[in-house]
Amino acid sequence: MVKNRFKLVIFDCDGVLVDSEPIINRIFAETLTEAGFPITYAEVTQKFIGKSLKTCLEIIEASYKKPLPKNFVELCKEREIAPLQQELQPVSGITEILEQIRLPKCVASNSSHRHIQMVLKLTGLLDKFDGKLYSANDVSRPKPFPDVYLYAAEQMNSNPEDCAVIEDSVTGVQAAYAAGMTVFGYAHQSDACGGLRQRTALAEAGAKIVFNDMRQLAKLL
């Protein structure tokens, strides 16, 4: 059992609980390219990690100076379902960690409620949060603004300074840091160069501790 000074642990979803980002980024890059907005998987990963879908779409339209097709979002969501069902896995070690952490916990994500529920259900993690799922769609501004983290703390009757946040993106770390919470940066990139870049970026964005093995989290909190 973990005893510490925190009263609430808030988890980001994609990249922290579920390893969905490689799948979603691949589909996003393919669908954009087919729609006449050529982009590689690497570019999508670099430019859009942690950002809300709305922000990503705004960046794309501004970059290419033309509007996306009207049905683009629906098409992406439709094309994501089968690969997510076939390939999606929980982040290595997260299932055990969620069992070990006895503190109240919830999810705060830039993704939609539909997406959060779907990926947590597919990976068997949905019941670990007892319906305590909060989306950027619940607030006026997505991460990197602190709104969704402040909203989650309020809904869970916790003060920001009593909250620990687990994040894997610079955007998310910035949001939690701006909310006045203690941020633990999860640097999951495995190659040495990419991993070092990610660790440095998370620390510079405001992560108090950066770690690369989810199994370490119980001891770190």
Please enumerate in sequence order all residues whose Cβ is within 8 A of that of 73, keeping only pairs 6 or more positions apart, or say none: 53, 57
HSE, CB side, 13 Å, CA atoms: give it for residue 140: 0
Burial 5-28 (b: 16+ CB within 10 A, else e): ebbbbbbbbbbbbbbbbebbbbbb
Instruction: Please identify which of the residues 12, 19, 147, 168 carries the catalytic annotation.
Output: 12
Q: How far apart are CA 216 and CA 163, in angstroms?
A: 18
- Whether 12 sits among the annotated catalytic residues: the reply is yes
DSSP assignments along 105-126, one per residue: EEEEESS-HHHHHHHHHHTT-G
CA–CA dist 51, 175 (Å, integer): 11
Query: Distance of alpha carbon 173 from its chain centroid, rounded?
Result: 10
Residue 157 identity (one-letter amino acid): N
CA distances (Å), origin 161, targets 33, 152, 158, 197, 214: 43, 13, 8, 28, 23
Question: Catalytic residues, which ones?
Answer: 12
